[in-house]
Structure 1
Amino acid sequence: MAWTRTYDEAEPQRINRWLAQSGVCSRREADALIAQGLVAIDGETVLDAGRKIQTGQTLSLSDSAQAKIESGFTVVLHKPTGVVSAQPEGKQIPAVRLLTRSALVGESPTIPDRDTRLAPVGRLDQDSRGLLILSDDGVVAKAVIGPNSELDKEYVVKVSGAITEGKLAKLHHGLSLDGRQLKPAKVWVSGEQTIRFVLTEGRNRQIRRMCDLVDLGVLDLFRVRIGPLRLGNLPQGKWRVLTAQEKAALIAASVSAA
């Protein structure tokens, strides 16, 4: 058996929810594994999608279940400015083109080529830089940008114009875009002409448009974090493979935030 863990919480819990909270897979994916007979409790195959696990019971996934979970491919890229996240137009350079062997940090089971289909999980516009996730893994995509996900994203933004308490208050809460009020954001000054934003939504060019509404010009927009995943010291233009632990953390954080 590939994944085995004993349940130690006081109250019984549905298997799919516990697997999601543990960062193993999404609830929907857990239901599919159960339907295929790939999940067992105390050695007995589970066939009921609504089954709850009790304190002291041990849940196991088969090797083939583990293989299905790990079949997706996800990378972390430090996207430079001038590169588009997704489908390019004209002479634009798509982010996936940067995923070369020479730009790889660490090891990867594969090196993407022109036929590789990796979609941006949370876009970053052409004029912005920083953390970008590219993936063909639906579980990762749902955790980060799914309809029920509220993972926060953190940005360091260099601006022009006077930064006042009134403007910061409006950026925190009080602005609307496209006729809809924005959710509250965490906003604070973190350096000379520098503001940090933590958002739980991702409207099109949201920070740039927010700043424009309070007469601040964006000079540099740098995404440093998505949920528990941080860009860290990954050099600009370089990429690495998302680790199993990081994937688990994204899934678990998404479940906790929802």
Structure 2
Amino acid sequence: MRINKLLSNYGICSRTDANRLIVENRIIVNGKLCIPGQWVEIEDDILIDNENVSARKKIYIALNKPVGITCTAAKTVENNIIDFMEYPQYIFPVGRLDKASEGLILMTNDGDWSNNILNSDNEHEKEYIVTVNKPFDDLFIEGMSKGVQICGVNTRPCKVNRVSSDTFSIILTQGLNKQIRRMSKTFGFTVVRLERIRIIDIKIDGIEIGAWRHLTDKEVVELSNR
């Protein structure tokens, strides 16, 4: 596989950071400077800053993201999730939860595990509690449930239930950009609070805003097999 994919799979750095290290002449493969896009084998002798490369222990975290934090590993972005967590090892967010929203986001250094969760074909459930700017009727619930045309596509049918006059729960099996906000806007409503409370079988229960916990081995395996 290519060197940047190997380093990402090993949980050492992102593919983008791997490319940067190559340009800075900090990676050596079998005694020679690595070149961009180079193909490598697991058996190759790979050094970063003259230290042998080996797979890192996989990390799996459930974070309750506060409003105002951006789900990106780019350090150039203000209030990015990596700086917020200050985790001592390389990790990245699994998917996204927009800056104005709060709630559950998974963090990991395992690229394959992340891709499995994000694969739209797997139709993994994500559950949210949403408050809009005014009361809604049952037609709104019905319309949201059947799917809405946004971003040039029809959203998948989803489960929507009333919580109160202006708040509903919604379970999605896809992750279009700002999907719930755009769906609600189609019916004339503006989202004023959005919290993700579940990703597949992982719930936010017991995790305070801004806090996080490691997933158990059982949870990691169960998510891997879904």
Length-normalised TM-score, structure 2: 0.71
Q: 2-side partners of 1:125 and 1:192: how far apart?
A: 24
Distance 1:174 1:224, change over 3 A: closer
2:222 aligned with 1:249: yes
* Correspondence for 1:120 among 71, 85, 93: 93
In the TM superposition, residue 70 of structure 1 has moved relative to its aligned partner by 8.7
Q: 1-side partners of 2:66 and 2:133: how far apart?
A: 21
* Correspondence for 2:140 among 148, 167, 170: 167
In the TM superposition, residue 98 of structure 1 has moved relative to its aligned partner by 2.8
Q: What is the letter of the counterpart of residue 170 of structure 1?
A: G
Once the two structures are superposed, residues 173-228 of structure 1 have per-residue CA deviations (whole angstroms, 9 ceiling, x without a partner) of 14111221110010011124111010000000000000100111111000000001
Q: 2-side partners of 1:200 and 1:147: how far apart?
A: 7
* Correspondence for 1:83 among 69, 72, 89: 69
Q: What is the letter of the counterpart of residue 66 of structure 2?
A: P
Highest RCO, 1 vs 2 (Cα 8 Å, sep ≥ 6): 1
Q: 2-side partners of 1:147 and 1:166: how far apart?
A: 28
Other-structure match for 1:235: 208
Other-structure match for 1:132: 105
| Bigger Cα displacement from structure 2, 141-150 vs 237-246 | 141-150
2:190 aligned with 1:204: no
Q: Tell whether the 8 Å contact from 2:73 to 2:82 is kept in structure 1 after alignment.
A: no
Give the % identical residues.
28
Distance 1:219 1:88, change over 3 A: farther
Unaligned runs of 5+ in 1: 1-67, 101-111
Other-structure match for 1:93: 79
Length-normalised TM-score, structure 1: 0.62
Distance 1:243 1:69, change over 3 A: farther
Distance 1:170 1:141, change over 3 A: same
